[in-house]
Chains A and B, each alone.
Chain A
Amino acid sequence: MALRGNVYRILEDIVGPQNISEEPVILDTYAFQWLAETISGTKFCTRPEAVLLPGNVEEVQAIIKACNRYGIRYKAFSTGWGPWNTVEGEGVLQLDLRRMNRILEIDEKNMYAVVEPYVIGSQLQVEAMRKGLNCHLIGAGANTSILASATSMAGYGLTGIFTGYSNCNVLAVEWVLPDGEVLRLGSLGSGAGWFGGDGPGPSLRGVMRGMIGALGGLGVFTKCGVKLYPWYGPPTTPIEGIHPLDGMPIPESFRVHSLTFPSWEALADAVYRIGEAEIGYVMGRALPPGLIPALNVGSATEYAQMLQLVSTEGMMDEFKYAIQIFLGANSARELEYQERALEEILSESGGKIILMLEEQSVKNILFRHLIKSEGISRVFQLAGTFATSLGAGTSWDAAVASSKFGEQLKRKYIERGAIADDGGDLAWGGAYQHGRFGHLEEIIMYDFQDADSLKGADEYVEESAQATIEKSLGQPISIVRGMAEHFGPTSCDYHIWMRRIKKAFDPNITADPSFYIEPEQPPGK
């Protein structure tokens, strides 16, 4: 179904002829997505009706008003990664925000930046580091949109112990509501600047997002303020070596270590103590055991051989209960304090430094990859793709409990041959805000071109989600369609309130509700 001629012309008038397309070859580039197979059985989600590239808030607003007038649905897309960025159903417009790619401001003193939707993590990080600042980068990589993570998606990242979580980093926001009205959250709405996102009165950030965002179901965000954090390294960070073994010299103000513990319980104790001691710039399970053999291999076959080798030699034992920690400090004195505190924590927890990862070149690689958040490619490399599960934002003890369960469940699917054999433990995650909460998500790798593997992966994700209900393991990170209907009845019927929000803010249901909530309760629910 093509857009009616007059509608196409109206939209074309808004963005200009060079910024609208109905060409299938263009449209399919949006539909081609990670995890699409879990929705459609192919690598393609639904093809949008047309794609528009608005250049500013006025154009976004005009498009949304037109959508409301003509009853057309739309969904925003910035660096889009995953099916929740794509459209659902026939006749839906994709709004590609890539032309809105400016860092509008870096307020050095008050430590925040104002960005447009297509500013990616590495772009902001480079500019921030020049001013002694850094930004929170999510595990999905430095190539993802800062604004999307802050306003619309989740926000886990391994610097979280120092740089928090995306939800808590968002300040004022410019938001085109589903009805086309522009809402400016917090201080911005009162003409006071970008430093705050809350008020006057109750904070409408509460409508904007929760632990995860509305995933395009509540309009389009066109600018936002985000917190920046101190950076104790140099203003520029030279890269050495060839990817994926490229490294970054470790500044004098940092220390890089991988730590191992005798048990999950000892590891958990150490994480709590690290949080209390307020040490660490990076802290988390960046190299779970299942990832170790992947570090320097090029294929699934090599991975399997390496896994066998390292398992046989007992090397994996070192990584079973391991975390990475970077100490970063404002002064030599502080760094010394942090090192002493870490020594003491290791001693109390029975932990030790993993010596095989103390080699300088290895540490340089780790430093680059974790400061720049560049590890995600590994989990695509081996079986073709990956999915994630569990991973509630919760206390570290609960995160560990969830991780233990995830490993146990995965083994069943590994033994069935449905998902890649990674040894069972690919629990990735960290702690946030000096350890106030944490998360460990259990990753699986599978072959999306193999029907049995895809089926197994789907079943695993579903079974793990069900287990979070039955075992009270928190609210999982795995995003599926119908999530609200599934988890709502287990969580104070929150889906009923969400549906009311959707109807109140989007009376014509023009913002694609597929990964938020459908306006009417599905039959039988």
Chain B
Amino acid sequence: MSEKEELVVIVGDVNVSDTPEVLESYSRDESFVRQMKPQFVARPQNADEVQEMVKWANRTGTPLIPVSSGQPHFRGDTVPSLGGVVVDLSRMKRIIRINRRNRVAMVEPGVTFAELQSELKEEGLRLPMPLCPRSSKSVIGSCLERESTIIPKYQWDISDPLLCTEVVFGTGDLFRTGEAAGPGSLEDQWASGQAQTNPMGPFQVDFFRLIQGAQGTMGIITWATVKCELLPRLQKPFMVASQRLEDLLDFTYRLLWARLGDELLILNNYNLAAILAEDPDDIKALRDTLPPWVLIVCVAGYERLPQERVEYQEKDVMDTAQRFGVEPVTAIQGVQGSNVLEALSTVSAEPYWKLRYKGGCHDIFFLTTLEKTPEFTTCMYQMAATAGHPSTDIGIYLQPQIQGRACHCEFNLSCDPGNPKEVEKVRHLFFNASKELMEMGGFFSRPYGPWAEMAYSRDGQSAMALRKVKGIFDPNNVMNPGKLCF
């Protein structure tokens, strides 16, 4: 049998594709990662089919590139490095279980934020959201990427909200991580009251941490449980405007210490405009009216005494603001906090907000601590000026993480993909700024594309240790080879 015929046996005729258009669409993304076509795209529907595909890949030495979110992709992690077969998990769309009592949902990798959000709402739950994800973004994909979420107080561990998983390792073995591993089947565990809320283990190894952040190089997740939060009954968003980023930081630190507010993030004027406005002209106009920096903090009340909770939090936020000389308001330059909150609470409208201004966007992001973000911001602006990229077209997103122990620092460089000169300019800026920001101490914990070589050249011991891990879980290097340090 040909390779295609073998794949057809596993996933069915209609779920294997090698048409030029399809292969072309998976051969590239919005990043600067080199284009390469896969040989096939296969769409399994369940764990058995995934497992069979991984076993087949080991037999034939074929690379597999798992993809869970729909297009457009941005990071290069779903672009084949060495050809192979794209494993498109978008057919695995089951929301297997929502457990209100334990605030947890079990979903397959093809489930998007929009799909899960509406189901959770009916149960009085919500997901901790990344910043306005695109409508095609997979919940599990986002969790596996350790993408930051906008409510830092619920992020006890950087791995949140990912909990237990079922995974097919690169060896073809099926495994369940955390308390889901056992003893007992899932049904047995449910019968004794378990709800797969504990991601740790089983026992002495946190297997889930080895899959998360791996860009599909260790195995393929076939379901995961994710932490959900209560749906607010009442919400009151505030914004604090500032000419200088520095002037917002002590106030933000104090809110984090006091666990005041739920959504808590800082955007620059460009990004706030890009999220709210509908087209390039509106974005430009709004950006130019907004103050350079806006802190967004939202207080909320849940099922328990919602009004009282909002009231005490609002008063405490105001007292804290007074102490730090800042002024939380409900509207800035005609932008209502409620509109901002609405945008932050759901997936992005189309077109995706990062593409809305010029049609293309390249993100540089890393972890640092909040007080260091002004230095990075200054550096980014200086490098943009040197490169001739307008600083007004740089989006900035600062997201406290792990309840305030770290901060996700993200620069969004918009560009017109139809303008080769501009693309080239942004490409240079992207590479040079990434290097410089890393030199300054930016921790590129999620090293996509060209960052991998930069990051691992600074931390050779981690690369060596990870290769040992890779040798255990994917000894034949069939899982997304060429990514990270593999």
Contact residue among B204, B258, B303 (Cβ-Cβ distance under 8 Å from A214)? B204
Minimum distance in angstroms from B368 CB to a CB of chain A: 7
Q: Which residue of A lies closest to B101 (CB)?
A: A272
In this complex, which of B183, B260, B446, B451 has the most chain A Cβ atoms within 10 angstroms of its Cβ? B183
- Establish whether residues A397 and B205, one from each chain, have CB atoms under 8 Å apart when the complex forms: no
Q: Tell me the bound Cα distance from A367 to B259 in angstroms.
A: 22
Minimum distance in angstroms from B454 CB to a CB of chain A: 9
B68-76, B188-196, B239-247: which lies at the interface: B188-196
- Establish whether residues B308 and A340, one from each chain, have CB atoms under 8 Å apart when the complex forms: yes
- Establish whether residues B316 and A334, one from each chain, have CB atoms under 8 Å apart when the complex forms: yes
Tell yes or no: B237 within 8 A of A by CB.
no
Contact residue among B192, B311, B485 (Cβ-Cβ distance under 8 Å from A473)? B192
A392-422 vs B, CB cutoff 8 Å, 1 = contact: the mask equals 1111011111100000000000000000000
Tell yes or no: A199 within 8 A of B by CB.
yes
Minimum distance in angstroms from A309 CB to a CB of chain B: 35
Minimum distance in angstroms from A437 CB to a CB of chain B: 5
Q: Tell me the bound Cα distance from A336 to B309 in angstroms.
A: 10
- Establish whether residues A210 and B204, one from each chain, have CB atoms under 8 Å apart when the complex forms: yes
Contact residue among B158, B185, B203, B258 (Cβ-Cβ distance under 8 Å from A211)? B203
With contact pairs A203-B210, A472-B184 given, residues A192 and B192 touching in the complex (Cβ less than 8 Å) = no
Q: Which residue of B lies closest to A155 (CB)?
A: B200
- Establish whether residues B193 and A195, one from each chain, have CB atoms under 8 Å apart when the complex forms: no
Interface residues of B in 174-215 (CB under 8 A from A): 174-176, 179, 181-185, 188-189, 191-195, 197-198, 200-215
- Establish whether residues B183 and A469, one from each chain, have CB atoms under 8 Å apart when the complex forms: yes
A266-284 vs B, CB cutoff 8 Å, 1 = contact: the mask equals 0000001100111000000
- We find that the number of chain A residues with CB closer than 8 angstroms to chain B is 99
B456-482 vs A, CB cutoff 8 Å, 1 = contact: the mask equals 101101101110110111000000000
With contact pairs A199-B443, A206-B208, A497-B205 given, residues A190 and B459 touching in the complex (Cβ less than 8 Å) = yes
With contact pairs A230-B258, A490-B183, A500-B472 given, residues A200 and B206 touching in the complex (Cβ less than 8 Å) = no
- Establish whether residues B471 and A504, one from each chain, have CB atoms under 8 Å apart when the complex forms: yes
- Establish whether residues A494 and B304, one from each chain, have CB atoms under 8 Å apart when the complex forms: no
Tell yes or no: B253 within 8 A of A by CB.
yes
- Establish whether residues A200 and B197, one from each chain, have CB atoms under 8 Å apart when the complex forms: no
- Establish whether residues B198 and A190, one from each chain, have CB atoms under 8 Å apart when the complex forms: no
Q: Which residue of A lies closest to B458 (CB)?
A: A190
Tell yes or no: B449 within 8 A of A by CB.
no
- We find that the number of chain B residues with CB closer than 8 angstroms to chain A is 100
Chain A positions within 8 Å of B200 at CB level: 165, 167, 210-211, 393
Interface residues of A in 198-212 (CB under 8 A from B): 198-212
- Establish whether residues B209 and A206, one from each chain, have CB atoms under 8 Å apart when the complex forms: yes
Chain B positions within 8 Å of A468 at CB level: 183
Chain A positions within 8 Å of B253 at CB level: 109
Chain B positions within 8 Å of A191 at CB level: 441, 458
Chain B positions within 8 Å of A185 at CB level: 462
- Establish whether residues B175 and A492, one from each chain, have CB atoms under 8 Å apart when the complex forms: yes
Tell yes or no: B15 within 8 A of A by CB.
no
Q: Tell me the bound Cα distance from A197 to B402 in angstroms.
A: 11
Chain A positions within 8 Å of B319 at CB level: 331
A141-183 vs B, CB cutoff 8 Å, 1 = contact: the mask equals 0000000000000000000000011011001000001000111
Chain B positions within 8 Å of A475 at CB level: 179, 181-183, 201-203
Q: Tell me the bound Cα distance from A168 to B304 in angstroms.
A: 27
Minimum distance in angstroms from B217 CB to a CB of chain A: 8
With contact pairs A177-B465, A192-B441, A330-B259 given, residues A398 and B312 touching in the complex (Cβ less than 8 Å) = no
- Establish whether residues B209 and A205, one from each chain, have CB atoms under 8 Å apart when the complex forms: yes
- Establish whether residues B308 and A200, one from each chain, have CB atoms under 8 Å apart when the complex forms: no
A95-119 vs B, CB cutoff 8 Å, 1 = contact: the mask equals 0000000000001011110000000
Tell yes or no: A187 within 8 A of B by CB.
yes
Q: Tell me the bound Cα distance from A493 to B462 in angstroms.
A: 26
Minimum distance in angstroms from B95 CB to a CB of chain A: 19
Q: Which residue of A lies closest to B451 (CB)?
A: A200
Tell yes or no: A516 within 8 A of B by CB.
yes
Q: Tell me the bound Cα distance from A309 to B18 in angstroms.
A: 80
Q: Tell me the bound Cα distance from A251 to B397 in angstroms.
A: 39
Tell yes or no: A132 within 8 A of B by CB.
yes
- Establish whether residues A198 and B445, one from each chain, have CB atoms under 8 Å apart when the complex forms: yes
Minimum distance in angstroms from B38 CB to a CB of chain A: 22
Chain A positions within 8 Å of B103 at CB level: 276, 436
Q: Which residue of B lies closest to A334 (CB)?
A: B312
Contact residue among A177, A184, A341, A494 (Cβ-Cβ distance under 8 Å from B202)? A494
Q: Tell me the bound Cα distance from A210 to B202 in angstroms.
A: 7
Interface residues of B in 68-96 (CB under 8 A from A): none
A315-338 vs B, CB cutoff 8 Å, 1 = contact: the mask equals 000000000000000110110110
Chain A positions within 8 Å of B484 at CB level: 200-202
Tell yes or no: B157 within 8 A of A by CB.
yes
Assuming A198-B158, A205-B206, what are 19 further A-B pairs, CB within 8 angstroms?
Answer: A111-B404, A183-B462, A183-B465, A185-B462, A189-B461, A190-B455, A191-B441, A195-B443, A199-B213, A199-B445, A200-B459, A204-B209, A210-B206, A212-B204, A331-B258, A333-B312, A397-B101, A475-B183, A494-B207
Q: Which 7 A-B pairs have the closest CB atoms?
A: A472-B184, A206-B209, A199-B445, A397-B193, A491-B182, A398-B193, A192-B443
Enumerate 9 A-B pairs (CB-CB under 8 Å) in ascending A order.
A187-B443, A190-B438, A202-B212, A202-B213, A204-B209, A334-B313, A401-B193, A497-B472, A504-B469
